[in-house]
Amino acid sequence: MSGIWGLIGGTGLSALDGLEIESEELIQTPWGAPSAPVVRGRIGGQTVCFLARHGHPHRIPPHRVNYRANLWALREAGVDRIVAVNAVGGIHPQLQTGTFCVPDQLIDYTWGRASTYFEDDLQSVTHIDFTSPYDESVRERLLAALKAQNIGCLPYGVYAATQGPRLETAAEIRRLERDGADLVGMTGMPEAALARELGLAYACLALVVNPAAGKATEVITMEAIEAVVLAGMQQVKAVLQRLLQGPPHA
């Protein structure tokens, strides 16, 4: 695989250590404007394009993100493989606050979101194979980068994508757990499916920022989540640096 790495995540990643920013471009798409400009730069000899999923500043809630425009803009920028960074709640016992997961499956509980490019003026109905929603080659690169940085993670897991923007109830989390979910977030879909429709190799690096509802006695607060994000983002940056400094065309 050759081409350009794309990173989707929070605005903190735009300050990725060692990133030499070359340009910022707000790419217009048939689906409207993306959440933010595509920031193009280089790190470790690799060209990388970064897009802030929630805008800059962080202001677009999960159910209002223009996922179609975001993925289209990254493809127009020349990206062919994507690492999506997601803050999630931990359901699996091993996914404690501050730990990482590279999921291999997902379940979509979202509704009402624009979730496909294949809906109007089609010459034929199109169905993508979504048996394995994450690209295995990108997953393996992520897992290797985590190992090289001595950062432990759960190397598999089922990501439950919920609607938001509210957090889930304890009963909802019990339901997700019965369904087989290991972690819960609000932005994993339709992002992953749209990447597949565009032929982009896509994988998720999930940082657990809180126990899912009912998994701890403490009240979940945004202050506590933000503190975990601040600390965990340093590890995220280290992992992404290692990933990008790998073999250029691996």
Distance CA 95, CA 79 (A): 31
Check the annotation: does 77 bind a ligand: no
Contact in structure between 95 and 176 (CB atoms under 8 Å): no
Cα-to-chain-centroid distance, residue 11 = 13
Check the annotation: does 53 bind a ligand: yes
In the block, tokens 């805008």 appear at 55
Check the annotation: does 63 bind a ligand: no
Distance CA 200, CA 192 (A): 9
Check the annotation: does 221 bind a ligand: no
Other CB atoms within a 10 A radius of the CB of residue 204 amount to: 29
Check the annotation: does 212 bind a ligand: yes
Check the annotation: does 196 bind a ligand: no
Check the annotation: does 187 bind a ligand: yes
Check the annotation: does 210 bind a ligand: yes
**C-alpha triplet 19, 24, 25: angle, nearest 5°:** 145
Distance CA 115, CA 123 (A): 19
Helix (H) or strand (E) holding 237: helix 222-244
Could you list the residues known to form a binding site, using ranges.
11, 53-54, 186-187, 210-212
Binding-site annotation, residues for phosphate? 11, 53-54, 187
Task: Point out the annotated binding site for substrate.
Answer: 186, 210-212
